[in-house]
Structure 1
Amino acid sequence: MTSSETGPDLRSRLIDVGVDLVTREGAHALTLREIARRAGVSHGAPRRYFPTHLELLSAIARRGFADLGDRAVAAIGDGTASPRAQLATLGRVYLEFALGNPGMYELMFRHDLLESGHLGLRDTSLPLFGVLVELVGRARPDADARTVAGALWANLHGVAQLWGWGSLQLATGADDFGPLLRTVLDAHLGPAAAR
């Protein structure tokens, strides 16, 4: 066992390697053996910090949620825009993240693959959903904000998937997802005031 396999920064290095791997090759490439190989350690070394493969995948996904959350906070800014405008900004950030980081995006929302119950994913994924719920509640005080936010999120997720696969461009002839985003917001929030 070398110092590179037991040093205090090995945990972070394994996550860094996993983030790079998922970014370059997608979620399917995230095996313990490949992450260890690229980190330059034995295939058993990751188990010192991540007893299961799911725990390492969850740590990698947490980095994605942190990145998405930082982007959302920066884009929304001081929160002085209308709730609908903030939701439009949040939707655009979400779609741009999904399309620019398809491997990480896939991993982040595969809670069936992740240790979401006890490894802090609830603490990283649900706060952003909480922002969505709060904004929907302000935009639609007449509705169950959590349900509308869930439907809005599912709709955005579908747009991200179908746009990433090229299906929506083929079906709609669109070359930008902006009009789709506006339509999604109209569907869940009601038509926007006169533009």
Structure 2
Amino acid sequence: MEPESSLRERLIDVGVDIVMTDGPASLGLREIARRAGVSHGAPRRYFPTHHALLSAIARRGFADLASRFEAAADEDASPRDRLEALARTYLRYASEHRGMFELMFRHDLLYSGETQPAGRPPLRESTLPLFSHFVELVSRHTAGRATAAPTAPAAVTAAALWTNLHGVAQLGAWGSLQLALDGASQGAAPEDDPVDGLLMVVLDAHLGPVNA
């Protein structure tokens, strides 16, 4: 008989495969059970609700994104350069893993805090450290700039930057961004990426120009 811990992980593995190929709308307990080759009631032993299942799958996505952030980190780079590297990693992940990306930030569907079932770590333990990393780098960048202008709290600036990046990722996935930038890309060299130019505008808007 398969150990229960192994069966639970296999159910999550199947869920990850489904969200990667078919998107979060296809993530149902019965469908996961069918593809895992177990009875339709088996997932209920580990995931009493649909939210619990989605949270376990999303946690895999956050672990993957965190490892990518770590790989992109350059401790010797400036805070701004590190933020740019994280931003590029974030947008690349959104493009390469659209289904998982869409699920990960649907906290209205996920267990995030006090509603997390007993014995399971809340999803906030996966999401907040990633945001805190952005806040830390924004704070260090702001502290290193010579400006007399008042600045917003680092957490507010980081949230605004994250919101902008998420909008770029989501509008890009929907095709809306490409439509909006089509006119701006007329006459550009074939190798020019309009989204890359947009990213630099986003960073300048929230962090200030590079040479400011």
TM-score, normalised to structure 2, is: 0.86
Q: Which residue of 2 aligns with 1:161?
A: 170
* Separation of aligned partners in 2, 1:66 and 1:93: 14
Q: Which residue of 2 aligns with 1:138?
A: 140
| Superposed counterparts of 1:57-72, under 5 Å | 57-72=54-69
Q: Which residue of 1 aligns with 2:110?
A: 114
Measured after TM superposition, the shift of residue 147 of structure 1 is 0.3
2:91 aligned with 1:101: no
Secondary structure of 1:140 counterpart: helix
Secondary structure of 2:5 counterpart: coil
Q: Which residue of 2 aligns with 1:128?
A: 130
Q: Which residue of 1 aligns with 2:146?
A: none
List 4+ stretches of structure 1 deviating above 4 A: none
Q: Which residue of 2 aligns with 1:192?
A: 210
Match of 1:45 among 42, 53, 62: 42
Q: Are the counterparts in 2 of residues 83 and 138 from structure 1 also a CA contact under 8 Å?
A: yes
* Separation of aligned partners in 1, 2:5 and 2:168: 41
* Separation of aligned partners in 1, 2:207 and 2:81: 11
* Separation of aligned partners in 2, 1:29 and 1:176: 32
Secondary structure of 1:9 counterpart: helix
Q: Are the counterparts in 1 of residues 20 and 99 from structure 2 also a CA contact under 8 Å?
A: yes
Q: AA paired with 1:188?
A: H
Q: Are the counterparts in 2 of residues 137 and 143 from structure 1 also a CA contact under 8 Å?
A: no
Q: AA paired with 2:88?
A: R
Q: AA paired with 2:98?
A: P
Which has more helix, going by share of residues?
1
Measured after TM superposition, the shift of residue 7 of structure 1 is 3.5
Secondary structure of 1:87 counterpart: helix
Structure with greater Cα Rg = 2
Q: Which residue of 1 aligns with 2:198?
A: 180
Measured after TM superposition, the shift of residue 143 of structure 1 is 3.5
* Separation of aligned partners in 2, 1:36 and 1:45: 7
Measured after TM superposition, the shift of residue 80 of structure 1 is 1.3
Q: Are the counterparts in 2 of residues 18 and 30 from structure 1 also a CA contact under 8 Å?
A: yes
* Separation of aligned partners in 1, 2:176 and 2:50: 33
Match of 1:152 among 156, 161, 177: 161
Alignment: residue pair count = 190
Which segment drifts farther, 48-57 or 174-183?
A: 174-183
* Separation of aligned partners in 1, 2:179 and 2:48: 44
